A and B are shown apart, each in its own frame.
Chain A
Amino acid sequence: MKYLPLVWRNLGRNPLRSVLTAAAIALAIALVCILRTMPAGLDAILASAAANTRISTHNEAGIVYSMPYSYLAKVRAVPGVVAAISWNWFGGALDLTKGVEFPNFAVDPDGFAEVYADWGLEPKVLEDFRKYRDAALVARQTLEKHRWKVGDVITLQSTVFPVTLSFRIVGANPNQGGALYFQREYLEQALAGAGVQFDTTGMIWSRVDDPERVAPVMRQIDEMFRNSEAITSTETEKSFIGNFFGGLKQLVTIIQIVAALVTLCIVFIAANTASMSIRERVGEIAILKAIGFRRQTIFSTLLAEAGLLALVAGIIGAVAAFGMLKALQLYATGAGPQLGPLTAFAVSNAILVQAIFIAFFIGILSGWVPALGASRRSVAQTLREVF
């Protein structure tokens, strides 16, 4: 520790170089943070889905193959099912030219609170959601993005059904996909007015009372519809989400490859600086050794120099990444829900902290070879070369 002033002075001897190196590493670290945040959004959703006992029933052939609405009552009657709700994709767009900007679903308000018990919605919000036919529960991130607040009225034009509906926002929900939920009955009546009979459901979401019973309940539901007009497939929420975004796997791999390349970039930037600054000081290091400084001391101060520079750069980079992610959250629109959680850009503290550690280790690593070389050089030979 007593050598810290020496390390600090050495960093300050060529301030331009230190600043340039730190800036280059900081930018690369910020980039690594952002790239790693993208797939982490998907992992976070999967992790949050793993703990609950929510299950999804849908047509075996696919989600667009609907099921009769009468299936809901049958699922509700299965022992072990605490509550169940129907679920229909409304495909509502604020502006048709922009397409569907966030998912929106028609659901049954009865049982909604039980199926999404883990969301911890306030009783007042749930009551309003039941009470008003045009009530909508909007995901927090969607509220923030569009600067809406509870009480606002918004209008969505469906891209699936021939109707346009206005909704009164009664509360927020913590859905990470940005979804809006509204009453099925509201849609049913609007469609009846347009002369369309609406008696199907895309999915049924249920909650099972006991984690132990999830598997048998799922089997029982599928068994029940085995020989009926729509064969069903029931799976856990985790499996459903994993499958839904399964197609993004390769994209995630590419993002990871690019993140690795940028990390490698930091290694070269840091190593270049370390070798430059040490090469310049060969004579000085020889003198230090000649007057009695030990090899280990010289080695560790040189290493500390590289590590400190990278650490400071890493912290700056992580802070910058935090700011950029917040900005991306608000402004990265235009993708719609297709890239899903990849573009949610939710800040993860773990990734930021990891990035700072990565920077530090890269700094140490890149200083290792030149520092070792410098501390091992023979004093007599170096002095002879220099003077």
Chain B
Amino acid sequence: MALPLSYSWRSLLARGSRTAFTVAVIALVVIATTLFWSLIGSLKRTLVSSGSPHNLIVMRKGATNDGSSQLSLDAYQTIRFFEGIAKDPAGNPLVSPEIVVQPFFHTTSGTRENVLVRGIEAPALLVHDEVTIGEGRMIHPSSGEAVVGRIVAQRYKGASLGSDLRFGNANWKVVGILDANGSSFESEVWVDARELASNAKRPFPYSGFRVRVADGADMDALARRIGDDPRWALEATREIDYYKQLSSTANTLYIIVAGLAVLAGIGAMFGATNSMYAAVQARTSEIGTLRALGFSRGAILGAFLAESVMTAAFAFVIGAAISWLLAIAISAAMGGIGFASQTFTTNVVVLRVAPQDLLMPLGLAILIGVFGGLAPAAAAARLRPVEALRKA
């Protein structure tokens, strides 16, 4: 017969202060790993959600991002009439030619950052259908106007709706705010492509094209056709894969967070083992009594293991709740967290603890509970009833 769970639970409460110490240690480890893990998660979500499953990005062969690619007008004029590209109601192909420049912006706290400014033409909003104008309106061509991402509007000087924004040797009138479900487009500024090209004195008109593939058309076939065209050395990639590759900035962070989880996890496990051993020691006579009453070794093992896992689970709940609040506090205090992207622009990520970010810390806490409790629980189960009772 197994011991009821309430036995383990009441035992935990009986040695309140020591339980509190163990809970605090595990909870701190949970908070530390959750913060880092959510940061990586938030970065990945921001970048990956920027790609649309219907879109291809076309760049010069060998370019790793649209900030370092250059394409000719001829290439654009030919490719837009390829088979398999979606069309707007008027019958124009949904190909968005874009030029990317990285001018300096000044944050409201006084630092200088490179911001991704995207020069666009009419089809941009139709191709990037996840981007919408949240406030104000879209720019008119050749009017010196700009629309800015929601994050840009908050983070940089002079970037709010209706202001004059200075960048790239000119002043631009902010006429609208871009919303893009928290994706990296909210860290961008969009202006007229021709105005931007002349302002930045770019030798080639475009950096890349975004192509919306028609429903039912073969995406890979279209990508191959663009890539195989001998006239221009171009490469077409699925937008989703492109943004996935951009998010590889997080790889080093992964190594760090994995190391953090392993090291801190083992440390916390030692702490948990320590208090469980003390618990077993303090209750030697009690264990003897239980054994004398007829509870099996397995039941004792289970009860002590349950005690350890309960501690860890409780610590996880507290740690997760604190991390969640801490993330909100950090976001409120700092706005967003800037990451240098491969385009050498600042990609602002809003730290948020999503439910899936808690899975890794939960697993870690359970492991700490199980492995931290295993040795002491086994020691308790090994106690021989007669000796245990005699000791008391």
Contacts and interface: CB of A to CB of B under 8 A. Distances in A.
A62 B24 contact: no
B62 to A, nearest CB: 5
Interface string A5-34: 000000000001100110111011011001
B221 interface: no
B263 A27 contact: yes
Contact of A272 (B35, B169, B271): B271
Contacts of B201: 65-66
Interface stretch (A42-50, A69-77, A107-115, A334-342): A334-342
A265 B251 contact: no
B165 interface: no
B146 to A, nearest CB: 14
B103 interface: yes
A96 B107 CA distance: 33
A23 B270 contact: yes
Interface residues of B, number: 69
Contacts of A28: 263-264, 267
A273 interface: yes
Contact of A246 (B111, B263, B267, B330): B111
B113 interface: yes
**Secondary structure of the B contact surface, majority rule:** helix
A54 B340 CA distance: 25
A305 to B, nearest CB: 15
A276 interface: yes
B249 A339 contact: yes
B159 interface: no
B37 to A, nearest CB: 11
B35 A248 contact: no
Given A20-B274, A62-B168, A91-B68, A157 B111 contact: no
Contacts of A335: 248-249, 251-253
B102 A332 contact: no
A31 B337 contact: no
Contact of B338 (A62, A250, A331, A334): A250
Interface stretch (A169-177, A204-212, A251-259): A251-259
A66 B25 CA distance: 53
Interface in A62-94: 62-66, 91, 93
A77 B171 CA distance: 33
Interface string B125-166: 000000000000000000000000000000000000000000
Given A248-B340, A276-B275, A65 B62 contact: no
Interface in A157-175: 157-160, 162
B374 to A, nearest CB: 13
A236 B117 CA distance: 26
A100 B274 contact: no
Contacts of B377: none
Contacts of B344: 64, 338
B375 to A, nearest CB: 9
A61 B25 contact: no
A249 interface: yes
Contacts of B339: 247, 251, 338
Interface in A251-295: 251, 253-254, 257-258, 261-262, 264-265, 268-269, 271-273, 275-276
A231 interface: yes
Contact of A254 (B21, B35, B273): B35
A261 B319 CA distance: 11
Given A91-B68, A257-B330, A265 B112 contact: no
A249 B111 contact: yes
B114 A62 contact: yes
A265 B35 contact: no
A21 B340 contact: no
A23 B31 CA distance: 21
Interface string B29-59: 1011001100100000000000000000000
Contacts of A159: 62-64, 68
Nearest to A233: B104
Interface string A324-360: 1000100111111011100100000000000000000
Given A20-B270, A159-B63, A253-B334, A324 B259 contact: yes
A118 interface: no
B104 A61 contact: yes
A100 B336 contact: no
Interface in B261-299: 263-264, 266-271, 273-275, 277-278
A247 B335 CA distance: 12
Q: What 8 pairs across the A-B complex have the smallest Cβ distances?
A: A246-B111, A335-B252, A247-B338, A24-B270, A272-B21, A334-B251, A27-B267, A62-B103
7 contacts: A24-B270, A31-B263, A60-B104, A96-B64, A272-B18, A272-B21, A276-B275
Interface of B: 17-18, 21-22, 24-25, 28-29, 31-32, 35-36, 39, 60, 62-64, 67-68, 101-104, 107, 111-114, 167-169, 200-201, 233, 248-249, 251-253, 255-256, 259-260, 263-264, 266-271, 273-275, 277-278, 326, 330, 334, 336-342, 344, 346, 351
Given A61-B168, A162-B60, A272-B22, 4 more contacts: A20-B271, A62-B102, A269-B268, A276-B18
